[in-house]
Amino acid sequence: MTASNSSSSRQTLTVEREAGNTETRRRLSDLPGWLLSSTTVLILLTVWEVVVRTFDISVILFPAPTRIVQALVEGFTDGPFLRHTWVTLQEIIYGFGIAVVSGLLVAVWVSSSRLAEKIVLPIVVVLQTVPKVALAPLFLVWFGFGMESKILTTALIAFFPILVNATLGFNSTSSDQVNMMRSFGATRLQVLTRLRLPTAIPSIIAGLDVAVVLSVIGAIVAEFVGSQAGLGYLIIASNTSLDVATMFAALVVLSTIGLVLHYAVVLGGRRLAFWSEENRARSVAN
């Protein structure tokens, strides 16, 4: 009888423990995502700081977060961070803008013409197999150490995800809806702007989200190859002088730029998605 009661008590405790764990996980999952992410980052930074100070790790090998923040503040107040950040930001924005315009135009052309699809897609596949980073030295020879070679590298890296996703989005339009609009006398331009483009918006936004992150990578890689300014140049210069804190500070700036651009695309995509659904519904209804 005693053994039976003991076993029953253990089972009850196990059930209660599992119920408590489930309730804890449910409460954690109900918290805002930004709060969970911020808390996790704060914990990691605290552990990082404690480990560096406890084991007295050299700043040349692994600087503490407080030292990185100090380098970041000094870099923007008295140092060259502002100038280098502005150079890299221009390369990212211009390169991304060129990729968006060219990618969407080629996607419209390819999705509208079987001949264009047969001509362009094989070329795109061949170019896609070539590592874009390997072209950066070639662009450097052609265009020099200025921003032009960095912008071109950035645009080329960001071009392909936009082209592929936009083409898939345009081709996903229902042929029945296209035929219905044409039966009412809609022109090719009207079909594109009122039906195919709104339908393709989700795919285009997905491509833009990937491309904007690749734009940051492309600009930095191009600066690594050869540059006279920019955050990539600053990282290389800091590496040469063993200023690891400044290197980490530059990485923080790059991460911030990437996050801001990512959320800008996400927020803009939500507005465009709402417009596309509204516009497509109106076009089909009319």
Q: What is the pLDDT of residue 279?
A: 54
pLDDT for the residue numbered 278: 54
Confidence band (pLDDT; 50, 70, 90) for 187?
confident
Q: Which of 109-113, 174-178, 213-217, 262-266 is the least confident region?
A: 174-178
Confidence of residue 1 (pLDDT cuts 50, 70, 90): very low
Give residue-wise pLDDT tens across range 128-154: 787 777 788 888 888 887 888 899 999
> Per-residue confidence at 107, pLDDT binned at 50, 70, 90?
very high
Two tokens at 244?
Answer: 């690891």
Q: What is the pLDDT of residues 221-241, one digit of tens each?
A: 999 988 888 999 999 999 888
Residue 256, pLDDT above cutoff 70: yes
Q: Mean of the pLDDT values across residues 245-251?
A: 93
79-92 pLDDT tens trace: 789 999 999 999 99
pLDDT more than 90, % of the chain: 40
Q: Is the pLDDT of residue 9 over 80?
A: no
Mean pLDDT computed over 106-116: 87
3-class secondary structure per residue, the chain: CHHHHHHHHHHHHHHHHHHHHHHHHHHHHHCCHHHHHHHHHHHHHHHHHHHHHHCCCCCCCCCCHHHHHHHHHHHHHCCCHHHHHHHHHHHHHHHHHHHHHHHHHHHHHHHHCHHHHHHHHHHHHHHHHCCHHHHHHHHHHHHCCCHHHHHHHHHHHHHHHHHHHHHHHHHCCCHHHHHHHHHCCCCHHHHHHHHHHHHHHHHHHHHHHHHHHHHHHHHHHHHHHCCCCCHHHHHHHHHHCCCHHHHHHHHHHHHHHHHHHHHHHHHHHHHHHHHHHHHHHHHHHC
Per-residue pLDDT at 21 = 57
Which pLDDT value is given to residue 249?
94
Place 184 in a pLDDT band, splitting at 50, 70 and 90. confident
Averaged pLDDT score across all residues of the chain: 83
Do the beta carbons of residue 268 and residue 125 sit within 8 Å? no
Q: Quick check: 3 pLDDT over 60?
A: no
At CA 229, angle to CA 146 and CA 243, rounded to 5?
Answer: 150
Domains and CATH numbers, the chain: 2-54 (no CATH), 65-285 (1.10.3720.10)
Please compute the mean of the pLDDT values over residues 14-29 and round it to a whole number.
60
Q: Residue 115 above 90 pLDDT? A: no
The Cα–Cα gap between 115 and 120 comes to: 9
With pLDDT > 70 as the criterion, what percentage of the chain qualifies? 84
Higher pLDDT pick, 115 / 132: 115
